[in-house]
Each structure stands twice: as C-alpha cells, then as structure tokens.
Amino acid sequence: MSYLTLSLTLIFVLIPLILSRTLKLGLEKDTIIATVRSIIQLLAVGYVLQYVFETDNIIFILLMILLMIGAATQNARRKGTSIRGITWKLVITFIFIEVLTQSILLGLNIVPPTPQYIIPISGMVIGNSMVLGILFLNRFTAEVENLQDETELILTLGGTPKQAIHTQLITSIKASTIPTIESQKTIGLVQLPGMMSGQIIAGADPVQAVQFQLLILFILLTTAVVTSIMLGYLSYPTLFNQRMQFLKLRS
C-alpha cells in the first residue's frame, strides 16, 4: 500500500468527525488526538521493527521485549496500587510468562528463532498478560474489600492467611480467565481474529493463517491462566503480616 492510498483511508476518520460536528457530540478533539497518536505510534513501531529485523541483533530484540514489559507494567500497576509492591510483582509475572512461552516455542522449534516471530508473539503474550493482570487486580481488590468480614472470621477461628483469602483468590482467578476461554468458543464464527485477518489480507494462505492463529490462541490460554494465578499468589501474602493479621488494603 502506498502512502497515497493510505492517506485516502483518512476518509474513515472524516466520517466520524463530520457526524460528531453535526450532532454536537463533542468527539472531535479526542478523535483527532487518537488519529494522530495512532499514526505516529504505529509508524514509529513499524520503522523500529524494520530496523530490528534487518539488524537481527539479540540485544535489540531483548530491548523491545523489555520495553513492552515496562509499558505493560506501567499500565497495569494503576489497578493494583492497593497491593504493596505490585510493580515488581507485575514485572516478575510478565517476565515469567514471556520466558515460559518463548522457551516452549523456540525450544520445540515450533517457530523459527527470528525477530519476525519472536517480537509479534511477545507483543501478544505481554499485551494479553497485561489485560489479564488488570482484570485480575480489579476483581481481586474488590473481592478482598467486600469479604473483609469473612477473612477476619476465618483468622479468628484459627485459619491461615491462605485459607482466609482462598475464596477471593479463586473467584478472581476464575472471573478473570473465563472471558479468554469463552471467547475462544465462538472464535471464527462471528469475527475473524485480527492477526489472521491481517495475514490473509497480506496474501497468506488461509489455512496457514489459521494454524498460526490457533498457535496464538493456545498461547493466550496459558498466558491468561498463568498470569492470574501467579499474580494472585504473589499478591495475597502482602495482605497479611507475620502475625497472620489481616492488613487493610492501601487506599
């Protein structure tokens, strides 16, 4: 696609702008900001990727992955400010999930060890791990808050912190992973997944595209479940002290 044809696609930005103007929706400013940002950000990423692919240097690959982890942490930690040390808990989770998935993919030769594969897959893994982290933290802090009396009751009866928080932990792990599992049940029926559509448009064989999409889906299952469980087990001990006393969530 040439930049000329690409600029024609701005028509799709113009339509909402005109509608917003006529109906006084007040969406013009945000629409323009969103458009400009997406153009700059994606073009920048495109050129960076082009450079990284050409140089094929492990340092650049690592740097890109670290950048992704940094951005994901920055995003997710805002949902977990009430949990002590949430930043490094997220960093550890993202690193773990990245290392786990890449070692399986590369170790078993499922994909070739080139930046063309490593970087996009890492992006999907870390991006989804971030979303899962946010879902989990939202739910978990709400559950902990709502069931404070139950937690205290179990402690009073001689339960351990783990027992006192078990219901909240399991509920939150399940609630945050269910959307991932559910969405896979209907995938392909209503909407073609973005990555697959992209590949098909770019000219790939549909069956090949499906194979890669399946690979990604399965990776995302692991990502979802491992992220929630890991964050949960890293987070709950900070709600208690050495004397097995329940500490209030930081507000």
Q: Which stretch binds other proteins (CB under 8 A): 53-61, 97-105, 187-195, 239-247?
A: 239-247
Least distance (Å) between residue 228 CB and other proteins: 21
- Spatial separation of the C-alpha atoms in residues 184 and 179, rounded to whole Å: 9
- CA pseudo-torsion sign 237, 100, 211, 61: positive
Helices (H), ranges, 78-188: 86-107, 115-146, 148-156, 161-185
Give the C-alpha separation, 76 to 131, whole Å. 8
Which of positions 132-171 make contact with other proteins (CB under 8 A)?
Answer: 149-150, 152-160, 163, 167
Of 55 and 245, nearer to other proteins (C-beta) is 245
Other Cβ atoms less than 10 A from the Cβ of 117: the count is 16
Candidates 94-102, 193-201, 213-221, 240-248: pick the segment binding other proteins (CB under 8 A). Answer: 240-248
Euclidean distance between CA atoms 23 and 249, whole angstroms: 44
Tell me the closest approach of the beta carbon of residue 177 to other proteins, in angstroms.
Answer: 21
Pick one of 32, 63, 178, 244: the residue that binds other proteins (CB under 8 A): 244
SS in 3 state form for 183-223? HHHCCCCCCCCHHHHHHHHCCCCHHHHHHHHHHHHHHHHHH
Q: Which is nearer to other proteins, 163 or 191 (CB)?
A: 163
Size of the site for other proteins (CB under 8 A): 17
Residue 67 or residue 153: which is nearer to other proteins going by CB? 153
* Contacts (CB under 8 A) with other proteins, residues 165-204: 167
Distance CA 231, CA 49 (A): 30
Q: Given the complex with other proteins, which of 82 and 93 has the nearer CB atom? A: 82
**Interface ranges with other proteins (CB under 8 A):** 149-150, 152-160, 163, 167, 243-246
